[in-house]
Structure 1
Amino acid sequence: MTGPHTHQQPAQKSARRPGQDDAARAEALSRRFAEVYGHDPDGVWRAPGRVNLIGEHTDYNDGFVLPFAIDRSAMVAVRLRRDAGPGRRTGQGQAGHDVVDLASTWAPDGEGLSRARFRIADLAPGTAAGWSAYPAGVVHVLAGPDGVDVPGFELLLDSTVPVGAGLSSSHAVEVATIVALNDLLDLGLDRPAMARLTQRAENEFVGAPTGIMDQSASLMGRAGAALFLDCRTQEAQLVPLPVAEHGLAVLVIDTGVAHSHADGGYGARRASCEHGATALGAASLRDVPAGADLTGLDPETARRVRHVLSENRRVLGTVERLRAGDLAGIGALLVASHASLRDDYEVSCPELDLAVDTALAAGAVGARMTGGGFGGSAIALVPAARTEQVRDAVAQAFAEQGRRAPQVFAVVPGEGAGRVR
């Protein structure tokens, strides 16, 4: 499931300037790396955040999801330490071989850098906090007892994925890190393998019981397409999502209400699904028929199960419409998804409901919360000519209720993770 986790993350200040493309941003990050560490990086890699078009809380139930990578990303400049290299078990021999030095433009006061430093041999869950837990978690799973020899390295992180918005800022950092190390250490990992490893980093090191969706979208996304993912088999298919060609736009409405997947609400929903599957005699809710009798379940568990079963059907329906070129036709499915997340899964909040209701009233074709819920963002599929109208209506509605002004911006389906420089 979805993405950012609020471990007292510092305020975000990206090195990206408006209109700056990835190549220019990578060049600027390389220069900053040289200023920080005194030498050039070995390369620069990026990994996008994601928007989940539909399919929420289905991934950890072995279900279907339909995310797409967005044109906002985490970017890392990395240099391996020259006193250690692949093929050597780190942490042995000369001191410092397995030291990882991290720096980030996510700075507490909005200026300077946030720094972290650790020895790979000392890594264990709970030993890294805030943004540094994400690259540290990747190193931890790569260098585990059955893992590979990971040498020390230096890393400078920059990100344009909003923190706490439900757009997978944390997974973008993890994916950028693993893609960089996969290249630099010539590990030969394919994209599904990297998705599984970053999921382990989330589950085992960060402590968030997330599924496989966010990493997969960041790794396997393509411009102009959504990723239809079977979370049981990890079979992935690209589905056309040419929003601009159909005169549409996808608006993200970031409510500013931070959420966390490492807290009790997310875990409780997952436990409820597992309980429901067991009670229905299934290994997971993926194995429960759509028309299953839920009357034997307690009311809360029945609601949770009903959401997952109906959401899987909505994902399949959305894929069918997109393949038929009926982009506007998915609007009703987005609306139904939000209602189910609000009423059956109970992971919405007043701000998300206000964003969705206002966007629809202002002319959106469809809208729903996206991500794990309890805050974060909503998305709205909007006729391109009405984007400003929807944006203004949402801002006014929040102001009238005395709520914090939301950030509203358009995203487009973008390319998955890779080397930039």
Structure 2
Amino acid sequence: MSNWTLYQVWEHQLARDKADTSSKGGQANHGGTLEERERRARVMTVLTQHKPVIQLTKQDWQAAYDAARKMKSGALASIAPAPTPLQQLLTDDPEQMTGHERVSSLIASMKQIQNHARYIDLTSVRVDDLIIKPVQKRESDRSRDGVPFSPDDVEAIFSGYIYQGQPPSDRTKAYPFWFWMPLLGYFTGARTNEIAQLDTADIKEIDGHPCINFCADDPRTPEAKRIKTDEARQVPIHPRLIELGFLEYVDHQRHDNQKKLFGDGLTYLPPRDRDTDHNKEGWAKSAGKFFNEKPKGYLVSIGVHVPHDGKSLYSFRHTLETNLRNVRRDGKPVDQTIIDAITGHAQNSIAGRHYDGGPTTEHKLRALVLLPIPEAINKIQSYKLNFVERFSSILNKSIISHRNKKA
């Protein structure tokens, strides 16, 4: 242990957490997939210049936390036998720096590993001995939100094994969110967590139209839903979703007394910071892992997404914005305030924020029906035919098993 770097400390804690099946703490509750946590461990090791933890002084720890704020986006962090030099990981250009959210996650993980290093007597330096200020929010053209899917990407997504062809033999589980989340993303532009956290009660009729009510819970509610802007919005359900059987699926979940629309397969992940009401993890982490994580993530396996390309399930949000703006560019009347009301973007003007009551349900529906319907989506017959019957051998078993675990 005298030669252990932070990477070995991370491995030690990971092994301990896996062995302790009764533990509800550890790395599993600190966000990210195993792949992402392993990447952070390599980054931590570079930030501490590959030194054995037992040799790290208070000044070394402080320098590592300070350096984390200057990390270069997309930089590779390698450990032995080909260790990355610290300077290769850093930049002074704000446009090249890693986004504030990822830096905050890294620092949270590093604090956790430092605490574990103290627990196994490899350091006497406490986190509280250091000056670690909150990471200030920063945005750049690179880090703002990612990129939309191209038309070819969209065709590939809705022609993949979830919707067409022979289900893969290496998948032993299947869940309804596989089928519905990309479709809801395409036709609502909602954020991934907003879709993943939906309750069956959030599907309701408004002004004579079936709608999705994207709304937050009281932060003190167990497993609370949250909305980035904290303002509820109602988005009409696109006719194509109704044709595919979305409302029947909702009714089925209600009949089974299921509170969560996609609770079969998704689980709630608490916030990394137990003292905050802000939770970016929520219900979306399991969905993000299935769709975005290499090597088996759905978007990866069908060739749509590679690491650091800006594409993820969240890209449907940009896809809808782009598609509706293109409709307007083609001369059809789709006001930007209607697009913002659908996606939940706050209005910029004082008049918009304080005096405009916003577009009606009918306004939003008229805009949504102008969305182009990809050929692949047109080929989908229904949730029952294209998903339930194709995955019948494992779908019911997966749902029953998941419900039993939550019971």
* TM-score for the superposition, normalised by structure 1: 0.23
* TM-score for the superposition, normalised by structure 2: 0.23
Name the structure, 1 or 2, with higher relative contact order (CA <8 Å, separation 6+): 1
Larger radius of gyration: 2
More helix by percentage: 2
